[in-house]
């Protein structure tokens, strides 16, 4: 598993509304990158790693993994357009690679291209339906785009594969809060609390919800 990887586009970590600030989890599933990567050490963006990245591409110009490796290097150096170019090259060689679609989506998030990022996450989960990290980020991007139905569907997919995901249940509660559907929001907050009562985001949201109702 990769030890270092691009950060999740961290803009969606809370929602301000209903006279309060609500915690939207955004750092659990979203940080994973290259779940299929088997290298002993993830490229870290140093000059030595970058040289190795170019060597991989020169030695294996028809290998999608080589472009994925170098793309992560560029990402970690914040050279996002170069990272995107390499991820697209990887996809040209293997259009069914969920890792390449996911990496591309993360890069597009970093560049603020949310509609394009959402489309890339769609491709990632189409290639690997149980890809929880991609579903989670897809939900966060959809929330930011105010596409609540698509966001809720993303988090429900996570719960279908992993029923004990308290963060996914919490995110659904936030969607209902934004829509003013307070009974549904309460139900999902309770469900999230039943899954993991120690989750600090869930605790904060349940307390905030009770304060709002007073």
DSSP conformation letters of 32-76: ---TT---SS---S-HHHHHHHHHHHHH-TT-HHHHHHHHHHHHH
Distances (CA, A) of 63 to 36, 66, 69: 15, 6, 10
Q: Highest mean pLDDT: which of 22-26, 53-57, 71-75, 196-200?
A: 71-75
Query: Among residues 46, 47, 22, 42, which one has the least CA distance to residue 31?
Result: 42
The pLDDT confidence band at residue 42, using thresholds 50, 70 and 90, is low
Q: What's the mean per-residue pLDDT of the chain? A: 78
The pLDDT value recorded for residue 34 is: 36
> pLDDT tens digits, residue range 151-191?
999 999 999 998 988 889 989 998 998 888 989 989 999 99
Distances (CA, A) of 24 to 7, 19, 84, 174: 16, 16, 27, 7
Could you tell me how many residues make up the chain? 214
* Percent above pLDDT 90 for the chain: 40
* Percent above pLDDT 70 for the chain: 74
Distances (CA, A) of 135 to 46, 152, 159, 203: 31, 10, 10, 24
66: left (phi over 0), alpha (psi -120 to 50) or beta: alpha
The pLDDT value recorded for residue 121 is: 96
Report the CATH superfamily, name and number, of domain 14-213: Tetratricopeptide repeat domain (1.25.40.10)
Q: Give the number of other CB atoms < 10 A from CB of residue 146.
A: 9
The pLDDT confidence band at residue 124, using thresholds 50, 70 and 90, is very high
> pLDDT tens digits, residue range 57-111?
778 778 888 998 889 888 888 889 999 999 999 999 999 999 899 999 999 988 9
Query: Among residues 11, 23, 10, 82, which one has the least CA distance to residue 207?
Result: 23
The pLDDT value recorded for residue 209 is: 78
Yes or no: say if 23 and 14 are a contact pair by the CB < 8 Å rule.
Answer: yes
Domain layout of the chain by residue ranges: 14-213
Distance CA 189, CA 40 (A): 40
The pLDDT value recorded for residue 212 is: 67
């Amino acid at each position: 598993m990769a030890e270092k990887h691009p950060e999740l586009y961290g803009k969606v970590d809370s929602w301000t509304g209903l006279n309060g600030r609500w915690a939207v989890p955004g750092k659990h599933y979203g940080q994973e990158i290259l779940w299929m990567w088997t290298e002993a050490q993830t490229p870290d963006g140093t000059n030595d790693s970058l040289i190795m990245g170019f060597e991989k591409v020169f030695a294996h110009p028809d290998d999608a993994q080589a472009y994925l490796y170098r793309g992560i290097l560029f990402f970690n150096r914040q050279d996002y357009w170069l990272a995107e170019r390499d991820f697209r090259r990887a996809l040209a060689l293997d259009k069914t690679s969920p890792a390449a679609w996911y990496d591309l989506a993360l890069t597009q998030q970093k560049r603020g291209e949310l509609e394009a990022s959402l489309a890339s996450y769609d491709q990632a989960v189409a290639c690997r339906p149980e890809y929880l990290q991609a579903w989670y980020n897809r939900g966060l991007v959809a929330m930011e785009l105010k596409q609540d139905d698509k966001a809720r569907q993303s988090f429900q997919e996570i719960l279908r594969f992993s029923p004990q995901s308290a963060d996914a249940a919490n995110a659904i509660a936030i969607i209902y809060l934004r829509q003013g559907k307070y009974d549904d929001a309460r139900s999902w907050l309770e469900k999230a609390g039943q899954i993991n009562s120690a989750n600090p985001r869930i605790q904060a949201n349940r307390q905030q919800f009770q304060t709002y109702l007073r």
